[in-house]
Each structure stands twice: as structure tokens, then as C-alpha cells.
Amino acid sequence: MRDEDITKYLRGKEAASLRDAYIAYLITKDIQRLSRESKDDVKRLLNELESEKELAYFEKRQVGPNPIFKGGRLKEFLPKYAGIEYFFTGMFVENLLWSKKAVKKAKETKTSDFEVEFY
């Protein structure tokens, strides 16, 4: 499940480089996936790629129009975001966006008659 707070932040202008690093990270994973496929399978898979889905989601549009792997759209992300620092940033953003957060319930304690505070 996608973290809505992180999603809202990534849609803002101040997070553009984080969002683009995330998309570039997904592009590298998709390129690896496509490299194992035949030419016909590549054409069929283009709209199913994670980078395409996520970019469309952040741009609030349907997958298909203005795709990354057709035309000059790929130049928005590569080589600019191809460095190792962007790869790890993209991986970090993916983990923030998709990782489940475990919130442990605090143990209930009895209230005592007095409390000692340490400074």
C-alpha cells in the first residue's frame, strides 16, 4: 500500500528531484527487465512497466500518453539521474513510499502518585 503522506510530498515542486530520482531508479529496473525480452514482447510490455505506471500516477494521467520509452522523454531522467547517488536516493524513496510501517502499541502503565524527572 502506498504511503499517502509521502505521495503528497512527492507531488510537490520541492520534491521534484526525489521524485525524478525514484522514476530513474525504476527506469533502470525496467531496462534490466526489457533487456531479457524479444522486440515484440518489449512493445507489449511498455505500458506495464513500473516506471511508466509511477510517472503516470505522479502526473495524474493515464498510462500510455507521453510514455518514457518513446520519443525524447527518457532524456528527462537519464543521464541526469543515472549517478549512483540518485540510484540509492530512488531506492530510498521506493522504500519510504511502499514499505509497511509497524507501529507498536505503547504498553499501558499505571499512574503513580509521584514522578521523578531527571534532567
For residue 80, which of 39, 20, 2 has the smallest C-alpha distance? 20
pLDDT for the residue 86: 95
Calculate ∠ Cα 56-8-71, nearest 5°. Answer: 20
Q: Whole-model pTM? A: 0.79
Per residue in 27-75, pLDDT (tens digit) is 999 999 999 889 888 888 888 899 999 999 998 888 877 788 888 889 9
Task: Round to whole Å and give the CA distance between 69 and 79.
Answer: 14
Q: pLDDT band for position 80 (50/70/90)?
A: very high
Domain enclosing residue 17, as ranges: 4-98
Number of structural domains the chain divides into:
1
Arithmetic mean of pLDDT over the chain = 86
Task: Confirm whether 83 is domain-assigned.
Answer: yes
Taking the CA atoms of 53, 78, 43 and 90 in sequence, report the sign of the dihedral they define. Answer: negative
